[in-house]
Amino acid sequence: MTPSAPRTRAAAALRMKQIALDNQGRTIRRLRAQLATERRGLAATKKELEETQVALEASHKVIAGLTEIGLSMSKKIEKMKVKKQQVRANHVECHQKFQARIHKAEDSMQAQHLLIEALVDEKDSLLQTIHGLQEANNAPAPFDGDWEEEPEEEPEEEEIEDIPLGEGEIDDE
């Protein structure tokens, strides 16, 4: 049996090599399957990253647009504030001019009133002088004896109130 022993050993060695090759083949197939799974996972991850990149770029564009709109609105608000200050200054100036005109008109009316009083006093004085001269000359009065002075009527003056500066101002809200 000696000659069959080396054959048995050779067959056993071949069988061991065949088992080892089969094990290596299964390992290679398992590793290839894992590699294919990893590749699919990487491809999915890569696709997600690309979609995220596109979304990020879109977000950046939106943010840039909103920033531009915000800056534009800030400029408009500043212009409106300046315009509001100008309107307020114009309002104050107009108010002051209006008050000055009112005071000037009041002063003019008061001066006219004083002038009228002076003219009435002068008229009375002249009438007394004429009457005195007529009596001195025994001349008949050119006026009938029913001369009556017109009652002095003081016209009702409407008081013009000073308009407080605070009224009519532009509301900040």
pLDDT(173) > 50: no
At residue 168 the predicted structure's pLDDT band, cuts being 50, 70 and 90, is low
Q: How far apart are CA 81 and CA 78, in angstroms?
A: 5
pLDDT(1) > 90: no
Per-residue pLDDT reduced to its tens digit, 44-101: 999 999 999 999 999 999 999 999 999 999 999 999 999 999 999 999 999 999 999 9
Per-residue pLDDT reduced to its tens digit, 109-142: 999 999 999 999 999 999 999 888 888 888 765 5
Q: How confident is the model at residue 157, as a pLDDT?
A: 58
Q: What is the mean pLDDT of residues 13-26?
A: 95
pLDDT(2) > 80: no
Contact 141, 134 (CB under 8 A): yes
pTM equals 0.42
Query: What is the per-residue DSSP string for 41-81?
Result: HHHHHHHHHHHHHHHHHHHHHHHHHHHHHHHHHHHHHHHHH
Quote the distance between the C-alpha of residue 1 and its chain's center.
111
Q: Greater confidence, 154 or 103?
A: 103
Q: How far apart are CA 65 and CA 19, in angstroms?
A: 68
Q: How far apart are CA 114 and CA 37, in angstroms?
A: 113
Q: How far apart are CA 19 and CA 165, in angstroms?
A: 108
Contact 91, 169 (CB under 8 A): yes
Q: How confident is the model at residue 135, as a pLDDT?
A: 86
